[in-house]
Amino acid sequence: MSERLLPMPGADRHLIGGACALLVLLVLAPVVAPALVVDKLTQLGIYVLLAFMWNLLAGYAGLVSVGQQAFVGLGGYAMVRLVEAGVGPFPALVLAPVLVAGVAWLLAWFVLRLKIGEFAIAMWVIAEVFRQVVMFDPLVQGETGTSLIALNAFDPEVRRTVIYLLTLAAATGALVGSYLLLRGRLGAEAQAIRDDEEAAAAVGVSTFRVKRLIFVVAAAGCALAGTLWLASAITFQPRTGFGIQWTVFMLFMVLTGGLGTFAGPLVGAVLLMALQELFGDIGAWYLFGVGALAIGFALFLPGGLVGALSRRQGREPLTMRRLLADTRR
């Protein structure tokens, strides 16, 4: 037996064509849009990147983490340290996630051997440990934090444009990379592990290998989001970099958009951005509302917005379904 992909429906081809046209417009945004709009689009791109990483981890591999802020903060801290060591800020922005991926690879040997609930709690504890350790660094000065003064050497408009284009490239890479990753054998193996890990292992799936790869990719993606956020904010503070709000945002985007769907994280990121624009000024109550809404979706609309749309249309947009074909002669 072998497997091949089903032909792509016409609706999906049109959706991809529209996305490509939108991407061209987004590339031109710094030329035609005001600075405030470019900053908001940068923020949205970071949210898209985070949402796809958490969905890859939890929605497809079944690894529910409430401590992904560990890698967001560690990415920012690694960038600060690289710049202090003499690396340029933009090379450091790209190099830091690679270093964080190495840390995640080492952590995987421990955390991926835990049960689901233990894994979730362990990741939250690890995030707190990282935050406390980073605060002891004299460069960071505890909760005071530090600034990437090296970025001030660049013209503000040039800096804004470069950060925006890097964020757009990262978000686009998350979309395309996730699609290519999940439509192949690794995607099928990850979903088999999510549905029944023991059964997947019984048919020859190397469960630890698959989970470790996805865990490391998700960590590197979160770290990249952390470096992009730091580049746009300039100031690094442990309380913000390792803040639980990052995981709250990831949970919200994936649960409202559609856990385990391809388009769900994108829909959830747009929804989160819209809610921030409308209610972001009310402070802690806003975060409470975001969390409550995410819980409401999990209880009453578990498939999220994309799941609800899929039930009405009878299929999920951009689904990666396979067709088994007998190749014996």
Q: What is the pLDDT of residues 62-73, one digit of tens each?
A: 899 999 999 999
Q: What are 266's two structure tokens?
A: 């994108």
* CA dihedral sign, ordered 156, 239, 213, 196: negative
- Judge whether 250 lies within some domain: no
Residue 285 belongs to a domain: no
pLDDT digits (tens, 9 = 90+) for 267-281: 999 999 998 888 877
- Tell me the DSSP string of 275-306: HHHHHGGGTHHHHHHHHHHHHHHHHH-TTHHH
* Range of weakest confidence among 4-18, 24-38, 105-119, 243-257: 4-18
Single-letter residue type at 253: M
Q: CA of 85: how far to CAs of 139, 259, 294, in Å?
A: 12, 40, 41
Classify residue 122: in a domain, yes or no. yes
What pLDDT is recorded for position 316?
65
- What pLDDT is attached to residue 301? 85
- Check residues 277 and 314 and name the one with the higher pLDDT: 277
Q: Mean pLDDT of all residues in the chain? A: 87
Overall domain count for the chain: 1
Local structure of 196: helix, strand or coil: coil
Q: Is residue 298 part of a domain?
A: no
Looking at the domain assignment, is residue 303 inside a domain?
no
- Does the residue 28 lie in any domain? no
Task: Identify the CA nearest to 255 among candidates 196, 186, 304, 313.
Answer: 304
In a domain, 221, yes or no: yes
pLDDT at residue 60, rounded to an integer: 86
Whether residue 324 is predicted with pLDDT greater than 60 in this model: the reply is: no
Q: What is the pTM of this model?
A: 0.90
Question: Rounded CA gap, 262 and 319, in Å?
Answer: 7
User: Which tokens is 119 given?
Assistant: 């894994």
Q: Is residue 325 part of a domain?
A: no
Residue 124: domain span: 33-243
